[in-house]
Chains A and B, each alone.
Chain A
């Protein structure tokens, strides 16, 4: 692991040379916009790069005798994506696990392998943020990714295989400064949900609390579409004898998401759909993969048209679970 300092006016020159394209997320831009030239490609989050709202999976054609299926050929330019720690976690701990654990999703894999991440430390958690509640933090990093912390005059950078080094005497002191800064930023952030939460939550599937928790939600897809971890999709066939299979975003908030061909709908009302969103992120996914499918970025809280706040739902369920445990 290399680590070192780079001057703010030198850093862009250094990074620009490394990849063909550079992306920056909108939320990272709010804090670090001045580090990037205006022509940098803006994206909402990693999902926009890795899981576009619609993509062709394969083409097919009926020749009159047989079906011909043609796989799509892709290539992607090597790219860098600069993003906040929570947004990076959404990729590394959620969507990578979904699409790269066998069976590997080819489209995702092709995009992902050409994408390097640059994690920008978060120095100002917002009122909607709750990364620490779900196991992350404003200085969360990954050894496969670059990690950058701004300092007054320069930038502290960490990354595997990077040829940085501190001057002999300064290194330890700077690392200590970074640690102190981290502690300062983390001060007052909520403590993590209890480790028994995913399993216990499952036992509250039939809890009447879901009625009280769900009525306010208008079942639009703002939260799920803007969520960096929500990856659910729909597959549709576009064209009868000649066409392609389309993968497009879908949302568990929509009634059609679970509508059967028989017209039976196992999630007929908002209650079942809200419960599904919470259960998937906080029970099913962590039981399978070991971490929540929520990174606490707070985008869903900020963008909800009726202020449905997932933190309150979690708080309510923690209370319920704890009351039963004691």
Chain B
């Protein structure tokens, strides 16, 4: 799936010294897993892969290079690119130091869902297409195996790119929006659901650290002065952390779901920031990371703001 094209372009860029390094995906050490790779020599571009398991949001890997002068090519799905747009808007990076190799994305597949539906699985039994795969002598549509956060994706195409590899896709007409899960719940039921989920949180901060937009030098969760929460993962401190994180991301979250996929406890942690984005969209007709000209609604003051929420 366009892997050859990606390698060729990455090689070209490195050979021409148009970039110093390429951040992309390579095969993981475990089946059904791809992981980030830094490529700085043309011959290593052969290690780049592009498949349904390229889960981490690579925009996150730009952050350590903020202070350097390196020019970086980034393989970026729709959501990764939206995160890059936010980083550019927030002046974390100059545009000229990033070369976006945009990849229209058909969604990340959940290994857990594969195992649930197909039993014990081996990588060699699969043959992959963009929207389907062959396994156990049968053709399967990928839709029902997608990560919950990907099944509802409305922006599979990068909104900004220097190269676009692959064909632009129409957003999936998703049958059930993942957010339905909480939107349809009665208040009490929803409280129960979230307290149950968040009581399992061990506060390892994998969600925060996987997020390309959680880049505060000191996270409020770890601040000593003032000290907002303790180091112990109690339910109230967990709620405080996740609600705080969601509010910090309000109007900035690009709905990539990297936080949820990073969670080692498989907590449905993406629901909180996703819900906040839905509220932002309904109130401000705004979605984050779609254009370099956009004005972030929560960072913008207007005199004629009706301000109904404080009346």
Contact = CB atoms under 8 A, between A and B. Distances in A.
Contact of B231 (A249, A304, A307): A249
Given A303-B264, A306-B35, A54 B60 contact: no
Chain B interface mostly: loop
A127 B222 CA distance: 35
Contact of A305 (B38, B203, B234, B261): B261
Interchain residue pairs A-B with the least CB separation, the first 5: A54-B232, A305-B262, A303-B264, A248-B231, A220-B206
Interface centre among B35, B222, B230, B264 (most CB of A within 10 A): B264
B230 A222 contact: no
- A: interface residue count bin: 35 or more
Interface residues of B, number: 30
A220 B35 contact: no
B35 A218 contact: no
A96 to B, nearest CB: 23
Given A236-B231, A306-B35, A218 B264 contact: no
A220 B208 contact: yes
Interface in B27-79: 28-31, 33, 35-38, 56, 60, 64
B233 interface: yes
Contact of A248 (B30, B60, B230): B230
B210 A307 contact: no
B232 A248 contact: yes
A128 interface: yes
Contact of A218 (B29, B33, B60, B263): B60
Interface centre among B203, B230, B231 (most CB of A within 10 A): B231
A226 interface: yes
Interface of B: 28-31, 33, 35-38, 56, 60, 64, 202-206, 208-210, 222, 230-234, 261-264
A20 interface: no
Contacts of B60: 218
A246 B56 contact: no
A215 B38 contact: yes
Interface of A: 53-54, 127-128, 215-216, 218-222, 224-226, 234, 236, 238, 246, 248-251, 254, 256, 270, 301-307, 309, 311-312
Nearest to A217: B209
A256 B28 CA distance: 30
A260 to B, nearest CB: 12
